[in-house]
Amino acid sequence: MTKYKLILLTLFLPILSMAQGGPKFSIDDIKLLTDTIKLNEIIIQASKTEDNLQQIQAAATFVSSLEIKEQNLNALPELSARIPNLFMPDYGSRLTAPIYIRGIGSKINSPSVGLYVDDVPYFDKGSFNFEFFDLEKIEVLRGPQGTLYGRNTMGGIIKVYTAEPKFNSTATAKVEYGTDNHIKTVVQTNQKLSDKVAITVGAAYAHGDGYFTNAFTNAKADNFDIYNGRMKLLYTPTNRFKTILSVNYENMQQNGYPYAVYNTDTQEADEVNYNQESSYDRSLLSIGLTMEYRLSNLILTSSSSFQHMGDFQGIDQDFTPASLFWVEQDRSENTWVEEFSIRSQTNKKLNWIAGVYAFYQGSNNQVDLTYGSDAIAPFHLAGPTSYTKWYDQPSKGAAAYGQASYPIGKFKATFGLRADYESSTLNYDYERYVNGETTTTDDFENNLEFTQLLPKLSLSYNPTESLTIFTSVSKGYKVGGFNTSFESEEEQTFDPEWSYNYELGIKSVCMDNRLITNLNFFYIDWKNQQIYQPLTSGIGSKLDNAGKSESKGLELEMRYLVNRNLTFWGSYGYNKAKFIDYQRSETLDYSGNLIPYIPEYTLNLGTNYTLNFNGNAVRNATLTLNYQQIGKLYWNDANSAYQERYGLLNGRLNFHTTRFDFGLWGKNILNADYNAYYFESMGKSYVQLGKPAQFGAFVHFNI
């Protein structure tokens, strides 16, 4: 019953606002407020065919630079609940950032949701949780995007765009300070180098002392330092040709894993208490080069990218005061991607795109586990014991795709198909050391190959320019692969998974373009799902394939412009994802259980109010309030551990002057108590507690 009340509340917010007698405005007045109000100017680039937001045949969310700024968004996990049915649990470090959309996600190994930053694909979840600065927009397409983007986009695609160079000269600086010694500084400049060349250069630094204290060391368990640099160069030799070179670099050093032992009976956590300080360090370099050439009827595009990620993890694997396990992981990944596409001009009746795609990824990983002195007796070890494992895992792939849309009266039909190929090799070496001597050695080489056809079919109906009704069916696919932890030959690999997504959507713009309403219903038939499971020993984890699952639900998004100064928005996502057929073992049958890490619902309510002043010093002030609620979710396949629903209230007060802005912000203002992450290891349960209330102040200069 609660979820229906929440839907009604979201629906009636605009109606209650209108009862206050808010004035009406013309389209030109609305356009002055923000680029997210006049919908016919919002073009979704993630579709690759530059579709209008309200006419695209998919569930899409657009987050503008103004919204990113006013809602104080700093990283992808903060999009949880702001996007319907999107959830990113806080893993405890940035080693991995699992994303779930519509119940589709992956806790370990390759992601099930695609991420691109400035057209550079991010293949590894270890690169997903990066610090935001100077973003232009974020686009999220929910549902499988395999036809245009290939494997590992079963849940959807997230595309992040940093600010594009402009032909003027500006400079900005921002300083921010908050609780727990939170510091963030950003400097950025845009320069016109000539009539054909412009450049944007920026740098940022973020620091935090951390939120949780390790009782054993009496020091913060999760402090961090993040250094960012960015350069973007625009070259337009003619009005037909444009090329952009982007370089993004981030270096991050953090203590991490403030995990506490958790009692599932009382649903209470102990204090963080382990003897060895854990950490995670990462360097991430992304380089992208895009070129676009426009002919009279065609648009040719080339996208080339390179990404290097190097990271190091040191972790007290038992998370107790005892000296049991210490694990180090040293990893290096290099990824090259090339894509060529040709598409029609958007003003043509037949709208089509075709392209080819290829990638190569080299990955080298070394894992060292050392048994501590307290582990020798209980594990019956002959003496000091450790082991080292090496994983050399190159992979490559290629694809060809095409998609075409054709209008028939007020209808438009779209058909797409992608042929996808991928191969992967694992070169594995294992050495075990007991009392300083090598006692066992194992090594092997294994190869896997995958091919798949990924179709999509959709149909839309536009009875008026302000109303779109669409239905679609599309196939999602995620390749199989190798487990980095295994204890038998059968556990070395896992098979591909795939799904069919069925969707019905209604998009409308009404009340003089002041009310936007988007409603989507979906059903996902999911086969051979890759499920996270602990190893038999309980030390480490693997992926294995379950039988059959399903995910179904609805999504509602609304935005209402009351007047020049007041805007309301809201979104609601309901998602029921469960195992249909999942027999883990002869004694464990999880069929009918809900899939872990999937909230029953997500809710987002917000308002933005601007108060104008008559004085010359301060022109106006903007107050932004945002409330996000996460519904009940289960943490494990058995559904024995769970997190009840919880809500976070966030706010920002921004004063605007001619030369600079200043103000205050708060996150989790009501200091909600919740668990952000849960896992089981060696017969125990652990949680990552949610971040407490945080407050800060900022000043933003236009130099």
Nearest CA to 97 out of 78, 82, 81 is that of 78
Rg of the chain over Cα atoms, rounded to whole angstroms, equals 25
- Whether the per-residue pLDDT at 223 is higher than 60: the answer is yes
Residue 441 or 406, more confident: 406
Rounded percentage of the chain residues whose pLDDT exceeds 70 = 93
> Would you place residue 38 in the very low, low, confident or very high pLDDT band (cuts 50, 70, 90)?
very low
Backbone angles phi, psi at 539, to 5 degrees: -105, 105
Nearest CA to 272 out of 213, 324, 318, 327 is that of 213
Nearest CA to 76 out of 145, 144, 125, 121 is that of 125
Task: Count CA atoms within 13 Å of residue 246 on its CB side.
Answer: 22
Helix ranges (DSSP H) in 306-397: none
Give first-to-last CA distance, the chain, whole Å: 53
Please tell me the distance from the alpha carbon of residue 454 to that of residue 624, in angstroms, as a whole number: 42
- Whether the per-residue pLDDT at 282 is higher than 70: the answer is yes
Indicate the pairing of strand 113-117 with strand 156-162: parallel
The model's pLDDT over 511-543, given as tens digits with 9 standing for 90+, comes to 888 999 999 999 999 999 988 887 776 667 788
Q: How many CB atoms lie within 10 A of CB 394?
A: 15
CB 92 within 8 A of CB 256: yes
Stretch 537-558: mean pLDDT, rounded? 86
Return the pLDDT at 152: 85
Cα–chain-centroid distance for residue 354? 27
pTM recorded for the entire structure: 0.91
> Would you place residue 10 in the very low, low, confident or very high pLDDT band (cuts 50, 70, 90)?
very low
The model's pLDDT over 329-340, given as tens digits with 9 standing for 90+, comes to 999 999 999 999
- Whether the per-residue pLDDT at 97 is higher than 50: the answer is yes
The model's pLDDT over 45-70, given as tens digits with 9 standing for 90+, comes to 777 777 778 888 899 999 999 999 99
Q: Domains in the chain, please, with CATH?
A: 2-702 (2.40.170.20)
Stretch 463-487: mean pLDDT, rounded? 91
Backbone angles phi, psi at 564, to 5 degrees: -60, -30
Stretch 237-247: mean pLDDT, rounded? 96
The model's pLDDT over 631-669, given as tens digits with 9 standing for 90+, comes to 999 999 999 999 999 999 999 999 999 889 999 999 999
Highest mean pLDDT among 229-238, 343-352, 577-586: 229-238
Stretch 195-215: mean pLDDT, rounded? 95
Return the pLDDT at 420: 95
- Whether the per-residue pLDDT at 503 is higher than 70: the answer is yes
> Would you place residue 613 in the very low, low, confident or very high pLDDT band (cuts 50, 70, 90)?
confident
Return the pLDDT at 539: 67
> Would you place residue 29 in the very low, low, confident or very high pLDDT band (cuts 50, 70, 90)?
very low
Residue 249 or 441, more confident: 249
Please tell me the distance from the alpha carbon of residue 240 to that of residue 292, in angstroms, as a whole number: 8
Residue 26 or 619, more confident: 619
Region of residue 463 (left: phi > 0; alpha: psi -120 to 50; beta: else): alpha
Return the pLDDT at 538: 65
Return the pLDDT at 41: 52
Stretch 9-20: mean pLDDT, rounded? 35
Please tell me the distance from the alpha carbon of residue 18 to that of residue 33, in angstroms, as a whole number: 18
Residues in the chain: 703
Rounded percentage of the chain residues whose pLDDT exceeds 90 = 70
Supply 246's token pair: 């982007």
Backbone angles phi, psi at 76, to 5 degrees: -60, -40
Return the pLDDT at 55: 82
- Whether the per-residue pLDDT at 37 is higher than 70: the answer is no
Return the pLDDT at 519: 97
Indicate the pairing of strand 646-656 with strand 642-643: unpaired
Return the pLDDT at 666: 97
Helix ranges (DSSP H) in 570-625: none
Backbone angles phi, psi at 54, to 5 degrees: -85, 0
Stretch 670-683: mean pLDDT, rounded? 89
The model's pLDDT over 121-169, given as tens digits with 9 standing for 90+, comes to 999 888 888 999 889 999 999 999 999 998 889 999 999 999 999 999 9
Please tell me the distance from the alpha carbon of residue 574 to that of residue 162, in angstroms, as a whole number: 31
The model's pLDDT over 434-454, given as tens digits with 9 standing for 90+, comes to 988 887 788 888 999 999 999
